[in-house]
Amino acid sequence: MKKWIRGGTVVTAADTYQADVLVQDGQVIAIGQDLDVQGAEVIDASGCYVLPGGIDPHTHLDMPFGGTVTADDFFTGTRAAAFGGTTSIIDFCLTKKGESLRSAIAAWHEKARGKAVIDYGFHLMIAEANDQVLDELESVVTAEGITSLKVFMAYKNVFQADDETLFKTLIRARELGALVQVHAENGDVIDYLTKKALAEGNTDPIYHALTRPPEAEGEATGRAIALTALADAQLYVVHVSCAAAVQRIAEAREKGWNIYGETCPQYLALDISCLEKPDFEGAKYVWSPPLREQWNQDVLWNALKGGILQTVGSDQCSFNFNGQKELGRGDFTRIPNGGPLIEDRMAIVYSEGVRQGRISLNQFVDVCSTKVAKLFGMFPRKGTIAVGSDADIVIFDPDAKRTISAKTHHMNVDYNPFEGKEVYGEVVSVLSRGSYVVRDRQFVGQPGTGQFVKRNSFTRP
C-alpha cells in the first residue's frame, strides 16, 4: 500500500521546502505539492519536518570489550536508534590476529540476523595486515560490500595496531577503494601514563582523562594523516574530541588531502568535569578519547559548521553502571570504555546545534545522515529524500520539548549520560524502507526486518 506523507516540511542537506512525499514498495516514488494520490494511507506531517532517516556511522552492538559485553545488542540498539530518528547504522566488526576476515564477518552477521529493526552495514577492523588479510580484503570490499576498514592506534595489548599495519592497510585501501578509519590516540604514550598513574595510587575515573591528554590524540591524528598522504589514500578519523585533532584535520584538508573526521554528541555537549562526579559516577563518562575541557566544544561545533568535520556518530558502546562500569572501582583502567548514545545522537545535534544557532537545519541533516551516506557508499539510496531513494523517513516535531532520561529511553542500559537534559525536537514516526518502525511514538518494528546494506566503494564526496 502507498503511504502519502502529507503537509510536512521536507528537509534535506540541500533544501527546506513544503511538499508531500509518496512512498511505495519501500521507496520514494514522488515528491510534490499537488500529488494525485488514490488509495494511499495518509501520514499527517503538518507542523513537522520530514527528514531522511539518520545514519549512525559508528556503533558497537553486542561487542565484547573491557572484560564484558556491551549492554545493547542488535535488537535493543537498533530499536533505540529508531526512536532517535536513525534508520541505518554501520557497526564495527572486530577481528583477531590470525583469524580469517570471512569468519569474523560471518560472526558479526550472526549477531545482527533476526534482531536488527533498521538497516545496517559493517566496518571491518584490521588487526594485522599479513598477506592473507590483504588478499582477503579484495572480496570483502568488492563482493561483501564492506567498504570501510578500521585501525586502532590505541588500546595497547588489546586492539592497538602498529604503523606498519596502518600503512599497509592504507595502501590496500587505495587499491580497492575503501575508506580507512582510525581511532587516533597514541596508545604507547597512554600506556606509559596509565601505569605511572596507577603506581602513584591515582585510581579514580578522572585519571582516565588525565592519562589520555589532547596531544596524544593530536599526535596520532597527525601521524595517521601523514601516512595517508604517503600512501595517497583516504582517511576518516573517528570520534574527534579536541582542538589538537581538529587542527591536524583542518591543515590536511587545506592541502586538499582526502581526510575526513567525525565527532560525537558527548564531545559536543559534555566536558571533563563529568569524570569528577562523586560516588564513582564519573565512570559513566569514561570514553576514549576522554571528555575534554569545555572550550573544545566550540572548536568542534565550528569544525562541523565549516566542513572540517563531516559527520556526527554516536560511538554507541553501552555498559550498565551497575555491574559493568563498576568493574573499575579502585582501578580506572578496568572501567569499560564507552557509553549509550545511539538514541540521543540526533537530539543533541538538533537541540544543541540547530536550536542554539551553531549549525543550520540542513547541516544537521548533512552531518547526521547525508554526508555519512556519501562517505560510506550508501548515497543516494540512503541519506536523502529523493525519487528512487529508500523510504527511510523520519517525521520530526521540531518544537516539542522533552527531557532525556534513563527512565524513558529505550536503550538496554541503566543510565543516560544526558540525564535530565531538556531538548527540543521529538521523533514522531519512523519509516524504514516504507514500513513503520515507530508509529506515533510507539515501537511497531519487527526484529529481523533490518537488512544488511552492501555499500559501494569510496568516492570523494
For ligand URP, the binding residue among 181, 194, 241, 288 (CB under 6 A) is 288
Q: Name which of Zn ion, ligand URP, none residue 392 binds, using a CB cut-off of 5 to 8 Å depending on partner kind.
A: none
Distance CA 281, CA 326 (A): 9
Distance from C-alpha of 159 to C-alpha of 164, rounded to nearest angstrom: 15
Among the listed residues 317, 346, 349, 423, the single contact to ligand URP using CB under 6 A: 317
Residue number, 183 or 248, with CB nearest to Zn ion: 183
# binding residues, Zn ion (CB under 5 A): 2
Residue with Cβ nearer ligand URP (6 or 284): 284
Asked if 261 is part of the footprint of ligand URP (rule: CB under 6 A), the reply reads: no
Q: How big is the CA angle at 5 (ends 435 and 364), to the nearest 5 degrees?
A: 85
Q: Residue 287 touches which of ligand URP, Zn ion, none (CB < 5 to 8 A by kind)? A: ligand URP
User: Which grid coordinates belong to 240?
Assistant: 574527534
Nearest approach in angstroms of CB 185 to Zn ion is 8
Which one of ligand URP, Zn ion, none interacts with residue 258, CB within 5 to 8 A by kind?
none
Question: Residues 43-62: x/- map of binding to ligand URP (CB under 6 A)?
Answer: -----------------x--
Which three three-digit cell numbers place residue 307?
A: 566542513
Task: Establish if 77 lies at the interface with ligand URP (CB under 6 A).
Answer: no
The single residue among 183, 325, 358, 381 that binds Zn ion, judged by CB under 5 A, is 183
Binding partner of residue 325 among Zn ion, ligand URP, none, CB cut-off 5 to 8 Å per kind:
none
- Of 266 and 389, CB closest to ligand URP: 266
Considering only residues 304-323, where is the footprint of Zn ion by CB under 5 A?
A: 315
Burial class, 383, CB count within 10 angstroms (exposed 0-12 / middle 13-18 / buried 19+): buried
Is 183 one of the binding residues for ligand URP (CB under 6 A)? yes
> Could you tell me how far CA 62 lies from the centroid of its own chain?
15
Site for ligand URP in 107-166 (CB under 6 A): none
**With binding defined as CB under 6 A, does residue 338 bind ligand URP?**
yes
Query: Could you tell which of ligand URP, Zn ion, none binds residue 119, using a CB distance below 5 to 8 A set by kind?
Result: none
Q: CB neighbours of 406 closer than 8 A, spacing ≥ 6?
A: 413, 414, 415, 416, 419
Chosen residue from 4, 108, 287, 396 binding ligand URP by CB under 6 A? 287
Q: Does 272 bind ligand URP (CB under 6 A)?
A: no
Q: Which is nearer to ligand URP, 288 or 389 (CB)?
A: 288
Q: How many CA atoms lie within 13 A of 425 on its CB side?
A: 26
284 binds ligand URP (CB under 6 A): no
Q: Does 315 bind ligand URP (CB under 6 A)?
A: yes
Q: How many residues line the site for ligand URP (CB under 6 A)?
A: 9
In the complex, the residues that contact Zn ion under the rule CB under 5 A are: 183, 315
In the complex, the residues that contact ligand URP under the rule CB under 6 A are: 60, 183, 239, 287-288, 315, 317, 337-338
